[in-house]
Amino acid sequence: KIDEIEKDLKALLLELKASVVEKSNEIAELKAKLQNAPCPDWIQRSIDEIQEDLEVILNERDELKASVVSKSHEIAELKDKLLNAPCPDWIHSRLDDISEDLKEMKMEQRRHSFSK
């Protein structure tokens, strides 16, 4: 009797294995069909819109990068001109005064922040 049960179990196991293989093949076929299935029109339109938006954004980014580079060069040129430009003594004196005022304001601010 045990031999019969063992035979039945082995047969059942073989059937299950065959069923698993069959279902795996069906899954593979369905995956292949899904990959090759045409995309619905509304999805394709959304994809196209997103791609167009992306192109616009990338172009704007490139333009901004070029603008930043251009402005950086312009700033560097202006700094050079400013550093090499003759400056009246009163401007230097005023800049020194402003610098001192800023130092005092920072110290005053620190004192207030420590006292709180």
Task: Show me where the domains of the chain are located.
Answer: 2-107
Query: Cα–Cα distance between 116 and 108 in angstroms, integer?
Result: 13
- What is the signed CA dihedral for 57, 62, 67, 72, rounded to 10 degrees? 130
pTM: 0.41
Q: What is the pLDDT of residues 12-34, one digit of tens each?
A: 999 999 999 999 999 999 999 88
Q: What is the pLDDT of residues 21-80, one digit of tens each?
A: 999 999 999 999 888 888 888 888 998 999 999 999 999 999 988 988 888 888 888 878
- Looking at every residue in the chain, the average pLDDT score rounds to 86
